Chains A and B, each alone.
Chain A
């Protein structure tokens, strides 16, 4: 926008193309750009008394300012999400005509062993990653909080994994856990332990994926916990110490209860992101095509639900079934988040 100086309260005017109409008063001699917006906006700041009869017309600059998000959101998110519901009742390959099939996709889903296998895989990987992740994060946060030296270094080093590209890290994990040439097996052999076929066993595949997620998000959660710990007033600790409470007792009676809202937050976030694991197995076992019975690794052990969804929708072009999978799975995620919420909340009520 140009910055021509303006003298006096600027009234302004309907300029060609401005259909904001009635509230705009004309000012001759103003340039078009600033003129359009130079109208004295009624103001505004949060404390302004509300007039019941204000016309929405005079707020068009504000509506215009917030509109990009709502337009993009409606076109690329809200409409697609609703359309996905519609698609779940159709049979469609993305090119030909749609065919209404009622609940048939969901009935098929219910009887589809691969879908349930993928749900089980996702849940197992989620538990294997989230539990150690949040536990270690809490330990790290308490440790950093107990010291004053090197804290800047600790914070940066702990945070770096969370901004690292998932693809890069998946390739790295694929390399070090490789059955024949990986670093991990080389270490095991040098300790005279027999090598583990990490990438072909049903459980170790899940462990590798879970380890990857744990590596990436433990530090991030630790930094979040650390912020929560630093918000706890130190007088509380001092009072407890004076009463003779021991560190373990202090931790469970003061730290944990005061940290509960933040723990709840991290549980919800890691549930939502943990259940949506896709990139990890896709990169690690991506060369297995959709038609391959081993998609998602040997025995489909790394086939998460979103990976299965991706195969059905974009490799098999079965858009209707894909839509059914992703909606069913969204409801599963919602259910688990609600259960988590209730569990953490209930603990809060306990004295």
Chain B
């Protein structure tokens, strides 16, 4: 009896501690909504308002007066979608070659890919900037999309998955039918690796959507920014009009959090696998 009670008490305190963690994790989202739906005066007042207000539409109107929100969001969307599609295609194609073929220098090339993974982007960013100047891409979205169109992590991730889940018998059968590399890729490999592509796609999309330093350096035209850079500039210029700035933060964060929550369970499992390999 006593030990049962003690166990229950322990279970309760575990959940209490974990719930505290959950509250801390999601509190910013709650508070962003509170700030975005009240007026700045409400936030300044003491004690501050702790519950949602009804000023969201006015705040959004002010936001639209001060920044080209949809323009920036559209730019971000183009960058994220293009990068994601290119990464999915190039990475899975390269992964197929690495997973299912033997070719000279394969080991060396794959080792190179893994070892170069650690180079931080900042080491390359000055010459990258200069290359974009030379190509005439500075200030355009190409400067963000093209360098990110294929990456080592994605190839590594897709190769693991392709090796284990594309049956060799299926490939051999298709080969007897006369399918070549591209047709094998399109008709055999792609259908098999869809789950891995889903993770890589969401991951790439989120990373591209949230990227800050590269757009900050490359997008030199203040009328042509991505959402993150535009929001940071809005905050720098109007740091005291919280409710207006927060309505922008809210609009930029909510779509991503919704997408993530929808796919969350599989995504987290894959993210752990990807990290631990």
Residues of chain A having any CB pair with chain B under 8 Å: 1, 3, 6-10, 12, 33-34, 36-41, 43-48, 50, 54, 56, 59, 61-63, 65-66, 68-70, 72-73, 75-81, 83-84, 87, 94, 139-140, 143-144, 146-147, 149-150, 152-161, 163-172, 174-176, 180-181, 183, 186, 189-190, 215, 219, 223-224, 226-228, 262, 265, 269, 272, 276, 278-279, 282-283, 286-287, 306, 309-310, 313-314, 319, 322-323, 326-327, 330, 333
Whether A80 pairs with B128 at a CB distance below 8 angstroms is yes
CB distance from B52 to the nearest CB of A (A): 15
Given A54-B104, A56-B104, A227-B276; A8-B126 close (CB under 8 Å): no
Measured CB to CB, the nearest residue on chain A to B46 is A186
Contacts of B133 in A (CB 8 A): 94
Interface size class of B (residues with CB under 8 A): 35 or more
Question: Inside 8 A of B6's CB, which chain A residues have their CB?
Answer: none
Q: Of the 9-residue stretches B28-36, B57-65, B191-199, which lies at the interface with chain A?
A: B28-36
New contact pairs (16) apart from A181-B242, A265-B276, A319-B130, CB-CB < 8 Å = A6-B179, A44-B101, A59-B101, A63-B103, A77-B124, A143-B14, A153-B22, A159-B264, A164-B253, A164-B256, A215-B25, A286-B235, A310-B213, A314-B129, A322-B126, A330-B123
Given known pairs A45-B171, A165-B228, the reply for A159 and B96 (CB within 8 Å) is no
Q: Is the CB of B15 within 8 A of A190?
A: no
* Assembled-state Cα–Cα distance A287/B266 (Å): 40
- Check B101–A84 contact: CB distance below 8 A: no
Name the distance in Å between A67's Cβ and chain B's nearest Cβ: 8
B60 to chain A, nearest CB (A): 16
How many residue pairs bridge A and B at CB < 8 Å? 315
Interface residues of B in 97-118 (CB under 8 A from A): 97-104, 109, 113, 116, 118
Q: Which residues of A contact B21 (CB under 8 A)?
A: 140, 154, 157-158, 219
Cross-chain contact of B182 among A1, A87, A190, A323 (Cβ < 8 A): A1
By a CB distance below 8 angstroms, the chain A residues around B175 are: 9, 40-41, 43
The 5 closest A-B pairs by CB, nearest first: A10-B178, A80-B127, A80-B124, A61-B181, A38-B180
- Are the CB atoms of A65 and B181 closer together than 8 Å? yes
Q: Report yes or no: B100 in contact with A69, Cβ–Cβ below 8 A.
A: no
Complexed CA–CA distance, A325 and B181 (Å):
46
Q: Name the B residues within 8 Å of A310 (CB-CB).
A: 213, 217
Q: Report the separation of the CA atoms of residues A265 and B233 in the bound assembly, to the nearest whole angstrom.
A: 35
The contact of A189 among B46, B90, B120, B146, by CB within 8 Å, is: B46
Which of B126, B182, B210, B273 interacts with A313 by CB under 8 Å?
B126
Given A76-B131, A77-B119, check contact A279 B152 (CB 8 Å).
no
A186 touches B126 (CB 8 A): no
Residues from chain A with Cβ under 8 Å of B109 in the complex: 66, 70
Q: Say yes or no: is B172 at the interface (Cβ < 8 Å to chain A).
A: yes
Chain A residues near B124 (CB-CB < 8 A): 76-77, 80-81, 84
Q: Are A167 and B231 in contact (CB under 8 A)?
A: yes
Interfacial chain B residues near A69, Cβ < 8 Å: 90-91, 94, 113, 150-152, 155
Question: A12 — which chain B residues lie within 8 A by C-beta?
Answer: 180
